[in-house]
Amino acid sequence: MLERIHAHCVKNGPKILGLPVALTPFPVKKLMLQQLLNWQFRHALAEGELDFLNGRLLGIGIADLNLQWITTLQDGRLAVLQQSEADVWFRSNANDLLLVAARKADPDMLFFQRRLVIEGDTELGLEVKNVMDAIEPEAMPTALRTAIEQMAAFVDAGMKQDAKATQARAGAAC
């Protein structure tokens, strides 16, 4: 019973969060996202590793949260904008992006499974991916890394339970 509840929460958790995200005004989301992004990427910013984003627009879309934003580099900091045009878009669902952030899922694998969509300037998309791959988890702020790892473990376990249940149902149908 608990396994079913866990799998249900993993599958439907982002949908539940979608309403509060949708009701939150963009200026509040912008402030939160900018603080989080600049905190997460503070070392990369200090080292100039994100300078290629200066004047370029990176779009992030999280479909199951109905959340999207544009990130760019302005005055040495990551800025969040609300607009629909970006040089490159990264689109996925919340659980897959969480697993990528925790290094429990390979972005290339998700791309080929069409669970991660990259649209637009592929060269810019590759630069972004390379920077993300180069960031060591230990460089993340400890509280953020711990939260991501714990949430990813929950999601990963729920996805495995859901896969086992699907296999069991398929086996029983034969």
What are the C-alpha distances in Å from 24 to residues 31, 129, 142? Answer: 11, 29, 27
Report d(CA 82, CA 160) in Å as an integer.
36
Does residue 2 surpass a pLDDT of 60? no
pLDDT category of residue 4 using cuts at 50, 70 and 90: low
114: three-class secondary structure by DSSP: coil
Report d(CA 7, CA 160) in Å as an integer.
8
Does residue 62 surpass a pLDDT of 90? yes
Report d(CA 146, CA 75) in Å as an integer.
30
- pLDDT on residue 125: 94
Token pair of 3 as six digits:
């396994």
| Per-residue pLDDT tens digits for 140-149 | 888 888 888 8
